Amino acid sequence: MEHALVGGGAGFIGSHLCAALVSRGLSVTCVDNLSTGTRDNIASLLNHQHFTLLTEDISLLDTERWVRGDMPAPNYIFHLASPASVVDYLRLPVETLMVNSQGTHRLLDLARACGSRFLFTSTSEIYGDPLVHPQSEEYWGNVSPNGPRSCYDESKRFAEALTMQYWRSYGVDIRIVRIFNTYGPHSRLDDGRVVPNFIGQALAGEPITIYGDGKQTRSFCYVSDLVAGLLATMFTENVAGQVFNLGNPEEHTIVEFAEIVSSLVAEFKGRDGQDERPLLEWRDLPIDDPTRRRPDIEKAHKFLGWEPSVRLQDGLRQTISWFGAGHEHETISAVRGAHGAGAAE
């Protein structure tokens, strides 16, 4: 049986990836310090004979246990271990810098020692507030190196450079993906991302918070499509040393998206969503919040045969149902105080 190590496997995207890998017939070791992930996300896997949870910090991970053979050497290493929402990485800036630098270094050394294939999950945030639209993998970005979001943006850029150097210097089979806005079950109401923000506020009957003029754009990819892209990147042959954008190129302004969410939440509550007009609350745009964000996914389509298939309304209905079933009663005070229009992942 092949083995996969998933850093950050109890997080929003990581938990879906772990489930997909187990379903694919791999044994999985999930390493997560639960700073932003939760056991609830992987509850269905905890008793599975081919799933192991290590509640440890990737930045401090003792990788020698795999090298010594105390644990099965991973055939595949997926590095998703980083706070990924604005709220989380502004709360944990040093930890974010360390997991994307020291943590990446440790996992790359492990991949080199064990001959593992390595996938690093970067972010569309490395493009910053882009001067090129849509963003292709060749674009270098427009990023503040020392602004409030640099703990995330710059540490991801450093991790990309380190990952590529392990391919050039040591021949490690690496792949890099840049994740654009992703949504779906297992995200948190209070993590500051666009989708849980808007859904949580709409479910609670609160005004939807819009930062700036609401004309800034985002492209939203459902989590099952994103996971399919991660699997395609890892298991496609002859793409070592490549970088791929993964996201949905369908672009919406933040105000348009608020209207879509408001209508679908009304539908979920049994009202006529067509007649629903969102109540909006306007806030100042945070520092370094990008105005436009849309991936060019031509490269992923050409080399991986990947493109998203879940329609926005269908994915949002699934997400609203998930939140509505278990989270509608929760307070949204943290949501209303969240930062910005939402992070990339």
> Exposure string (b/e) for 190-216, b if CB count within 10 Å is 16 or more?
bbbbbbbbbbbbbbbeeebbbbbebeb
Residue 288 DSSP code: T
- In the residue annotation, 76 being an active-site residue is answered as no
- Cα 174 versus chain centre, distance: 19
- Please tell me the distance from the alpha carbon of residue 334 to that of residue 345, in angstroms, as a whole number: 19
CB 41 within 8 A of CB 22: no
- Please tell me the distance from the alpha carbon of residue 35 to that of residue 40, in angstroms, as a whole number: 13
Q: Which amino acid is at 236?
A: T
**Contacts of range 301-306, beta carbons closer than 8 Å, 24 or more positions apart:** 303/236, 303/239, 303/242, 303/244, 304/229, 304/232, 304/233, 304/236, 304/239, 304/244, 305/232, 305/236, 306/228, 306/229, 306/232, 306/233, 306/246
The active-site residue, picked from 152, 166, 183, 222, is 152
Of 173, 128, 195, nearest to 335 (Cα)?
Answer: 195
**Dihedral of the alpha carbons of 223, 46, 35, 148, in degrees to the nearest 10:** -20
Q: What is residue 52's three-state secondary structure?
A: strand
CB 39 within 8 A of CB 64: no
- Please tell me the distance from the alpha carbon of residue 330 to that of residue 323, in angstroms, as a whole number: 10
122: which 2 tokens? 């970067």
Q: What is residue 204's three-state secondary structure?
A: coil
List residues with catalytic annotation: 152
